[in-house]
């Protein structure tokens, strides 16, 4: 390996890194991508994809268990084969991993497995494989689960989101710290499979940051599904033993403390940028107070020739944000005028029903000084939703009062992850609520809920 010279070394083969490497190769660069062994990154190996496999499987199980009698489907004796469910999930991960490897092969990207470290200007050392000389280096090292100092992960009782994806038995009682995307998704999986799940959230709403109406209705829906919430509550510590865990909680509203007994605790309180061991300090790469690598609009770090994208940089920690940045970064290296529209990045949480949003919430729009008008339409008024037995939820459109310009779209409902796509395109093209309302949507389809919400804005 010693003495390899290339145009670009990408460190990290997650959605930010592998997509950037493939695009750079398309643009004619000689590219080497280095990763410690997780082709596809956290998203594919221990995040988005395996969690969606379990969410899908557990949803089917819950649906059958609760009965499809209304549809005239009378299920017999149902049995859960968790080992097979896990095998199926791993099969999907394995297949997609091969997909990334063959993408690299077809594009001519050289893949190197090992720990990479910035050695000197334009040089990256890869443990056990020597040094690579490169005109440019792109950091796409992602993030890892944040630990709470008083609740360190032990892989047995106190779990990270990665470990909660691979349990070999359904816990009787599970506590989840954090009602963000990971807490609600993984809490839903294990609740559906039979665990009693209690979610502890520091703030006074579930899914902080989501539109207020969406948060409130999601909380009610998840409660109906059996999740229990301790809001405005901080997890302060835990005693883990052979029999289980005693979790200590403190209210943020008064001095009340309490405990929860459970078998497993999932700590899902955010993720932190992955920068250790990369030699950033020695190289002089600046980071902000929270440890994120800071970049300019070309994704250049403070050091000439070193760039960064994705979770290791500030902004939402989303695979599709990292992908978009990876493409924009290498296209800018190639002097193309690419950019990412940060105002039109969808955000999805895969509970049932799903939550999907793009643009500003009503609260954010008002805070930003917009005079706001909104429109709302319920899934309950949609025929297709009834045929799917999915009448819960609503779509909400936020527009600017004078101009009718779309500012945000928020959906709580079945297949919201798919439905949000048209709202993203509409925002990207600077559409008005009326544009969305006058666009003909197929009948009967769930997409009519979005159209009706746009029409309800009034024009
Ligand atoms: P998060 O930041 O979304 O939520 C963590 C929650 O934990 C917050 O609501 C916070 O108030 C709470 N919290 C923090 N300390 C606490 C304490 N001591 N006691 C009680 N509550 C406490 O983080 P999460 O869910 O771990 O996700 C990490 C990142 O991964 C996020 O940026 C998320 O957007 C992303 N992600 C996205 C997914 C998706 O797009 N579907 C799925 C999973 C993760």
Q: How far apart are CA 199 and CA 111, in angstroms?
A: 41
Mean pLDDT of 91-106: 98
Residue 349, ligand 1, Cβ within 6 A: yes
Which of 71, 410, 418, 443 is flagged as catalytic? 443
Residue 237, ligand 1, Cβ within 6 A: no
Sign of CA pseudo-dihedral 389, 390, 392, 398: negative
Residue 3's pLDDT band (cuts 50, 70, 90): low
Tens of pLDDT along 213-256?
Answer: 999 999 999 999 999 999 999 999 999 988 899 999 999 999 89
What pLDDT does residue 121 have?
A: 78
Q: How far apart are CA 459 and CA 454, in angstroms?
A: 10
Tell me how crowded residue 83 is: count the other CB atoms within 10 A of its CB: 10
Q: In whole angstroms, how far apart are CA 430 and each of 340, 360, 371? A: 15, 14, 17
| Residue 353 contacts residue 414 (beta carbons within 8 Å) | yes
- Between the CA of 64 and the centroid of ligand 1 the distance, in Å, is 30
The first and second tokens of residue 360, run together, are 């500003």
The residue among 42, 31, 43 whose CA lies nearest residue 111 is 31
What contacts 407, CB < 8 A, 6 or more positions away? Answer: 359, 360, 365, 370, 372, 398, 399, 400
Pairing of strands 244-251, 257-262: antiparallel
- 418 included as an active-site residue: no
Total residues belonging to the chain: 459
Average pLDDT, the chain: 96
- Between the CA of 190 and the centroid of ligand 1 the distance, in Å, is 17
Q: Which of 54, 161, 180 to mutate to test the pocket of ligand 1 (most atoms within 8 A of CB)?
A: 180
Mean pLDDT of 336-364: 97
Residue 202, ligand 1, Cβ within 6 A: yes
What pLDDT does residue 120 have?
A: 84
Q: Which of 15, 16, 176, 269 to mutate to test the pocket of ligand 1 (most atoms within 8 A of CB)?
A: 269
Can you tell me which atom of ligand 1 is nearest the CA of 148? 18
| Residue with CA nearest ligand 1 atom 14 | 269
| Residue with CA nearest ligand 1 atom 19 | 234
Does residue 385 have a pLDDT over 80?
A: yes
Does residue 1 have a pLDDT over 80?
A: no
Does residue 109 have a pLDDT over 60?
A: yes
pTM of the complete model beyond 0.85: yes
Does residue 179 have a pLDDT over 70?
A: yes
Q: How far apart are CA 36 and CA 141, in angstroms?
A: 10
| Residue 229 contacts residue 219 (beta carbons within 8 Å) | yes
Mean pLDDT of 1-16: 88
Does residue 75 have a pLDDT over 90?
A: no
Mean pLDDT of 122-149: 95
What pLDDT does residue 208 have?
A: 96
Residue 235, ligand 1, Cβ within 6 A: yes
Tens of pLDDT along 407-418?
Answer: 999 999 999 999
Tens of pLDDT along 21-50?
Answer: 999 999 999 999 999 999 999 999 999 999
- Between the CA of 313 and the centroid of ligand 1 the distance, in Å, is 17
Q: How far apart are CA 119 and CA 139, in angstroms?
A: 14
Residue 14's pLDDT band (cuts 50, 70, 90): very high
Does residue 59 have a pLDDT over 80?
A: yes
Pairing of strands 347-349, 354-359: antiparallel
What pLDDT does residue 128 have?
A: 85
- Helices 82-107/48-66 angle, 10° precision: 150
Does residue 80 have a pLDDT over 60?
A: yes
Does residue 2 have a pLDDT over 70?
A: no
Residue 364's pLDDT band (cuts 50, 70, 90): very high
Mean pLDDT of 117-131: 91
Mean pLDDT of 74-103: 96
């Amino acid at each position: 390996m010693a003495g390899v010279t290339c145009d670009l070394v990408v460190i990290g083969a997650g959605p930010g890194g592998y997509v950037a490497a493939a695009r750079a190769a398309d643009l004619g660069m000689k590219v080497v991508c280095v990763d410690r062994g997780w082709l596809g990154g956290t998203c594919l190996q221990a995040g988005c994809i395996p969690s969606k496999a379990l969410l899908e499987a557990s949803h089917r199980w819950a649906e059958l268990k609760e009965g499809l009698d209304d549809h005239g489907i009378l299920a017999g004796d149902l049995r859960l084969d968790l080992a097979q469910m896990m095998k199926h999930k791993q099969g999907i991960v394995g297949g997609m991993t091969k997909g990334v490897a063959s993408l690299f092969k077809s594009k001519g990207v050289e893949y190197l497995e090992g720990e990479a470290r910035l050695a000197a200007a334009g040089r990256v050392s890869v443990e056990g494989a020597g040094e690579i000389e490169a005109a440019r280096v792109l950091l796409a090292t992602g993030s890892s689960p944040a630990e709470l100092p008083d609740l360190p992960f032990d892989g047995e009782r106190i779990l990270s989101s990665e470990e909660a994806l691979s349990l070999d038995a359904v816990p009787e009682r599970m506590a989840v710290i954090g009602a963000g995307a990971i807490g609600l998704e993984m809490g839903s999986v294990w609740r559906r499979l039979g665990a009693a799940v209690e979610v502890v959230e520091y703030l006074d709403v579930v899914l902080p940051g989501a539109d207020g109406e969406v948060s409130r209705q999601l909380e009610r829906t998840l409660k109906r599904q059996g999740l229990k919430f301790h809001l405005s509550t901080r997890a302060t510590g835990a005693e883990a033993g052979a029999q289980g865990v005693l979790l200590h909680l403190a209210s943020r509203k008064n001095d009340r403390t309490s405990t929860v007994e459970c078998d497993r605790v999932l700590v899902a309180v955010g993720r932190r940028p992955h920068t250790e061991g990369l030699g950033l300090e020695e190289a002089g790469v600046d980071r902000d107070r929270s440890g994120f690598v800071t970049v300019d609009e070309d994704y250049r770090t403070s050091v000439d020739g070193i760039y960064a994208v994705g979770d290791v940089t500030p902004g939402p920690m989303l695979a599709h944000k990292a992908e978009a940045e990876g493409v924009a970064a290498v296209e800018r290296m190639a002097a193309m005028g690419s950019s990412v529209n940060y105002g039109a990045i969808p955000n999805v949480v895969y509970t049932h029903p799903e939550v999907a949003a793009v643009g500003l919430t009503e609260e954010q729009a008002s805070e930003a000084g917009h005079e706001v008008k909104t429109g709302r339409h319920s899934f309950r008024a949609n025929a297709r939703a009834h045929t799917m037995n999915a009448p819960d939820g609503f779509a909400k459109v936020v527009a600017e009062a004078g101009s009718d310009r779309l500012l945000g779209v928020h959906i709580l409902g079945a297949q919201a992850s798919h439905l949000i796509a048209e709202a993203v395109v509409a925002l990207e093209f600077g559409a008005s609520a009326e544009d969305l309302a006058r666009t003909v949507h197929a009948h009967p389809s769930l997409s009519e809920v979005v159209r009706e919400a746009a029409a309800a804005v009034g024009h």
